[in-house]
Every structure is written in C-alpha cells, then in structure tokens.
C-alpha cells in the first residue's frame, strides 16, 4: 500500500455538507427502509413535529433505543432526535423549584440534585457508568417507565412533578401519578416530557439506597427513595417511600406511608411500616432476586433509614452501609502455631 500514489482529501465538500446539516431547520432524512429521522433545533419545532407525527419515537441519548438495533436487530420507526434542542437541556432553580430539562444528561441532572441533597451522592455515582451518565438523559430514564429505573424512586421521594407539553399547551403531573402500568403512562399522543420539577424548600430527611449484585454498573434488584418530614416533637408529618424493582412500575408504598404519618419516628412506627410493605407490594422473582428477598430487603431499608435519621443518636451512612463497613473491618490476628 506504500507504493500507491498519494490521495489527498479535499475537505471542503465534507465541511460544506456538515455545515449545511448543522444549519438545516429542522434536519430531516429518510432511511433505506423508509423510516424518517427528524432533528428539530428549537423547542417549538419539536412540539410541532410531534403533533404532526404522534407515532414517532423520541430519541435522546440512545442508551435504550440503541440496543434495539445492535441487540435486537429491529428496524427503527420514525425518530425525532432532541439532542440539538438546547432548551431541553437547561437546569435552573426559581422560586424554590429546581427545573431539570428532559434532555439534560444524567450526569448534569444528578449533579444538580446532589448539590442540594448530598445524601444522594452514592446513588449518583452508582448510576451506570460514566459514559452512559454523560449520554443518557434523566427525562428519558423517567419517561421510559422501567420498573427498575433508578431516577424515579428518588424523584418520587423528592415529590417531583413533570411538565408535559403537547403543541403549545402544557400541564403538570406529579411523578407519583404518572405511571399507569408496565411501561405505560399518562402521555397523550403528541405529548412529551418537557421538564422535571423538584421542590427544594422541603426540610425532609432524604435517603436513597440501591441493592444490586455488583456495587458498580449493575441493574437494581431494589432501589429505594425515602423522605420523611418531622415536626418539632419528632412526629412524622409526611412520608414518601418509593421503591423500584418491587412492582410493574416504580411507585410509592401508600400503606407504609400511612402507618408512619402521625406517629413518633421510633422503632414501633418502623415495625408497622415494615409490616405494611407486605400489603403495598407483591414483588416478582427473577434472575436478580426472589420475591421474598426483595420484600425483606425493602423492609430492611426502612430500618436503615430510621437508623440514619432517628432523632436520637442517628448513624452516619458509613456506619450503616455494608459497603463502607467492609473497608473498616480489621482482620482478627491469626493464632500462632503451637508445637
């Protein structure tokens, strides 16, 4: 190949083609199978395209849809790519509400949450791997509706709402009421998740726990987002206990919450909430965990939550985590051999 004549590349046509694609408003392309790819540049364009094509699939980080191609060998439907809609990537806080655009990366979204609730940092760092967190979006993780998505339990515990948009019209729905069944939700044809809104003024005690076979880069068997509000006397005034991996959707444990509200935050209340969990969920058995294990783990996490947030002598997270305590275990000295 070293004897072949030099073939210099004329970059100008390639640059011109890429520039025209960048400036196209919106970019449209039709694939060999007839499926259309549309990349709007503004939020209004995106809303109009989705009203015109309500059957289209929204594409953001492709961490899920990409698997349809390289794992399932599926033909893709009409795709509307939102990676160029900068308005959907904004994260800001106004009047006590943190607004996370649906196309904000998981990394940026979790960073904003952890800045306000440092207790969530472990779950942030265990949420998949770094490349995926920089590619995937929190809006996609929520809208996908997977029962083992790790964002939804935490956001439900924080009492988050979703801003849904169709055309020019918007409405707000609490995340706890968004899912209607396995991978189904309240979105109407042509409607999309525009933003996630999280109130920041709450003084709730918040924790998030992930149980998986591996510490890093693994799918949850159970993921819990737990929040509790107490009055000056130590009585529970509000409880939000959300679990993933326990049902067909991520959802809150209504009976366990009811067992806590109005009670002193003590071991008796925890035991009542643990018993109520058995009525809140009938988990399944699969390759990640048995139903009995999932229920036991969920009950144990309530106990851990109490240990870390009890009014008297709460434990630090390092004292209640098996992962942290492993590093602090000092091996017992070996007995000396005797003659």
Q: What is the pLDDT of residues 283-296, one digit of tens each?
A: 999 999 999 999 99
Q: What is the pLDDT of residues 8-18, one digit of tens each?
A: 889 999 999 88
Q: What is the pLDDT of residue 101?
A: 98
Q: What is the pLDDT of residues 111-140, one digit of tens each?
A: 999 999 999 999 999 998 999 999 999 999
Q: What is the pLDDT of residue 79?
A: 95
Share of the chain above pLDDT 90, in %: 76
Of residues 90, 154, 160, the one with CA closest to residue 126: 154
pLDDT at 310 over 90: yes
Kindly list the distances between the CA atom of residue 191 and the CA atoms of 50, 109, 168, 171, in Å, as whole numbers in the listed order.
7, 22, 10, 10
- Asked if residue 239 lies in contact with residue 228, where contact means CB atoms within 8 angstroms, the answer is yes
Q: What is the pLDDT of residue 325?
A: 54
Give the per-residue SS3 of the chain.
Answer: CCCCCCCCCCHHHHHHHHHHHHHCCCEEEECCCCCEEEECCCHHHHHHHHHHCCCCEEECCCCCHHHHHHCCCCCCCCEEECCCCHHHHCEEEECCEEEEECCCEHHHHHHHHHHHCHHHHHHHHHCCCHHHHHHCEHHHHHHHCCCCCCHHHHHHHCCCEEEEEECCEEEEEEHHHCEEECCEECCCCCCEEEEEEEECCCCCEEEEEEECCCCCCCCCCEEEEEEEEECCCCEEEEEEEEEECCCCCCEECHHHHHHHCCCECCHHHHHHHHHHHHHHCCCCCCCCCCHHHHHHHHHHHHHHHHHHHCCCCCCCHHHHCHHHHHHHCCCCCCCCCCC
d(CA 80, CA 94): 29
Q: What is the pLDDT of residues 63-112, one digit of tens each?
A: 888 888 898 888 888 999 999 999 999 999 999 999 999 999 999 999 99
Higher pLDDT residue, 25 or 167? 167
Kindly list the distances between the CA atom of residue 198 and the CA atoms of 96, 230, 257, in Å, as whole numbers in the listed order.
8, 20, 20
Of residues 201, 209, 207, the one with CA closest to residue 245: 209
Q: What is the pLDDT of residue 333?
A: 44
* 191 C-beta neighbours (distance < 10 Å), count: 20
Q: What is the pLDDT of residues 222-263, one digit of tens each?
A: 999 999 999 999 999 999 999 999 999 999 999 999 999 999
Q: Structure pTM?
A: 0.89
Kindly list the distances between the CA atom of residue 100 and the CA atoms of 9, 83, 93, 107, 112, in Å, as whole numbers in the listed order.
43, 15, 9, 12, 9
Q: Report the chain's mean pLDDT, rounded to a whole number.
A: 92
Q: What is the pLDDT of residue 331?
A: 46
Domains by residue range for the chain, with CATH:
23-81 (3.30.43.10), 87-199 (3.30.465.10), 205-322 (3.30.390.50)
Q: What is the pLDDT of residue 330?
A: 45
* 208 C-beta neighbours (distance < 10 Å), count: 26
Sorting pLDDT into bands at 50, 70 and 90, what band is 186?
very high
């Amino acid at each position: 190949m070293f004897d072949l004549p030099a073939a210099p590349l004329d970059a100008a046509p390639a640059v011109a083609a890429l520039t025209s694609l960048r400036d196209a408003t919106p970019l449209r392309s039709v694939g060999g199978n007839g499926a259309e790819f549309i990349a709007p540049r503004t939020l209004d364009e995106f809303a109009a395209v989705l009203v015109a094509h309500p059957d289209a699939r929204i594409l953001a980080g492709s961490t899920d849809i990409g698997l349809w191609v390289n794992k399932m060998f599926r033909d893709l439907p009409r795709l509307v790519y939102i990676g160029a809609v900068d308005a959907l990537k904004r994260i800001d806080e106004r009047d006590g509400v943190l607004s996370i655009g649906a196309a904000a990366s998981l990394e940026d979204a979790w960073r904003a949450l952890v800045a306000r609730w440092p207790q969530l940092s472990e779950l942030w760092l265990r949420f998949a791997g770094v490349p995926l967190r920089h590619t995937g979006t929190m809006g996609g993780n929520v809208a996908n509706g997977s029962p083992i998505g790790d964002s939804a339990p935490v956001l439900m515990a924080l009492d988050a709402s979703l801003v849904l948009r169709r055309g020019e019209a918007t409405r707000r729905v609490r995340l706890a009421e968004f899912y209607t069944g396995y991978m189904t939700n309240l979105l109407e044809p042509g409607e999309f998740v525009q933003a996630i809104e999280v109130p920041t003024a709450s003084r709730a005690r918040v924790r998030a726990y992930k149980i998986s076979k591996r510490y890093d880069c693994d799918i949850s068997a159970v993921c819990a987002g737990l929040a509790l509000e107490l009055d000056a006397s130590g009585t529970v005034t509000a409880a939000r206990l959300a679990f993933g991996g326990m049902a067909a959707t991520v959802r809150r444990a209504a009976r366990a919450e009811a067992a806590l509200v109005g009670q002193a935050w003590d071991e008796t209340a925890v035991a009542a909430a643990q018993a109520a969990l058995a009525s809140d969920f009938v988990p399944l058995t699969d390759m990640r965990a048995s139903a009995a294990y999932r229920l036991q783990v969920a009950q144990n996490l309530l106990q851990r939550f109490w240990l870390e947030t009890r009014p008297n002598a709460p434990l630090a997270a390092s004292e209640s985590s098996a992962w942290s305590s492993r590093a602090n275990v000092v091996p017992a000295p070996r007995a000396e051999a005797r003659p």
